[in-house]
Amino acid sequence: MSAAAAPLPRRKDLLDIESLAPEEVVQLLDTARPFKELFTRSVKKVPALRGKSVLMLFYEPSTRTKTSFEIAAKRLSADVTNFAVSTSSVVKGESVLDTVETLQAMKVDYIVVRHSSPGVPNLIARHTRASVVNAGDGHHAHPTQALLDAYTLREVLPDLAGRRVLIVGDILHSRVARSTSRCMHKLGMEIGYFGPGTLVPDTRPDFARGFTSFADALAWKPDVVYLLRLQLERMHASFIPSLREYHTVFGVTPARFRQIRDAGIWVMHPGPVNRGVELVDEVMTYERSLINQQVENGIATRMSVLYSLQPVTEARADDEGAGP
């Protein structure tokens, strides 16, 4: 009889994928499953975080991550506060740390933060007792995107070990590429990178194999093609000659779409999609496009993350239910 595995220690923060052991990744994905099952019931809420407060601190725009974190926190019965950066004292020059110190005084339990500068969530985490979740920091990391991607893939490919994912596009500026490729590697997948020479970092991780043409990359027989958004807002120089040329060489054109469909390859994209650049419209309705499933799974995986973290603010058992 094998000994039962020791429970994994609970973390205060989720800042990146690198610092997670593969078993922790698997545990977060397994924990998400019952949360997703909840969505088919008439009552979609559980009391797991009742009495806890979640602060959404988004210094950069977001549709999917912000909305799904908010829904996730509410389905766990937490109180959610949206910090509106554009109408806050940030516009008067208040620093991130001063903002966090002010909000800390309000005793929040969880801070979900997105910022254009890499490392800001780590900085906040060091200065607060609240659990900090990185919702995307510059080109550094987007760990919950990686988890929802892995969760989505496990729904269609239950055993990911040995499966191949080809990541295509603007890898240099992509926190998604960095986090998702590491997450998939931790789950035993083989990783391929293909993109313009100017948009693939020189320091490609050892586990990622590079390709110089879409034809070679498809000949590698990937199970999944993961298209990245061309991040025009982070490009401060001319990395590609034109969007039309990018589409022709690196996009899923009608001809490449036929190849992908004939080979039964799954397609993923973190969104938002630049239609006509990364892909043609038909890909959005392809039966093996996982793009909408990725969005749907954002809620359950983010519920799993919030549920699994342990803020230092956590009340002692004898405080629970006590009046003021």
Q: Which spans of this chain sit near ligand CP (rule: CB under 6 A)?
A: 62-65, 136, 145, 270-272
Q: Which is nearer to ligand CP, 132 or 218 (CB)?
A: 132
- Cβ contacts of 219 within 8 Å, gap of 6 or more: none
Q: For 210-290, where are the alpha helices, taking DSSP H only?
A: 214-219, 243-250, 254-262
Q: Which is nearer to ligand CP, 136 or 222 (CB)?
A: 136
As a whole number of angstroms, the distance between CA 27 and CA 21 comes to 10
Nearest distance in Å: CB 219, ligand CP: 29
Q: Which is nearer to ligand CP, 298 or 311 (CB)?
A: 298
Q: Which is nearer to ligand CP, 56 or 252 (CB)?
A: 56
Nearest distance in Å: CB 290, ligand CP: 13
Nearest distance in Å: CB 144, ligand CP: 9
Q: Which is nearer to ligand CP, 66 or 164 (CB)?
A: 66
Task: Spell 6-42 as b/e; 16+ CB within 10 A means b.
Answer: eeeeeebbbbbbeebeeebbbbbbebbeebbebeeee
Nearest distance in Å: CB 268, ligand CP: 11
SS3 assignment, position 90: helix
Nearest distance in Å: CB 274, ligand CP: 13
Nearest distance in Å: CB 64, ligand CP: 4
As a whole number of angstroms, the distance between CA 165 and CA 172 comes to 17
Q: Token digits for 312?
A: 């230092």
Which amino acid is located at 305 in the chain? Answer: V
Q: Which is nearer to ligand CP, 104 or 173 (CB)?
A: 173
Vertex 173 angle, CA 172 and 176, to 5°? 100
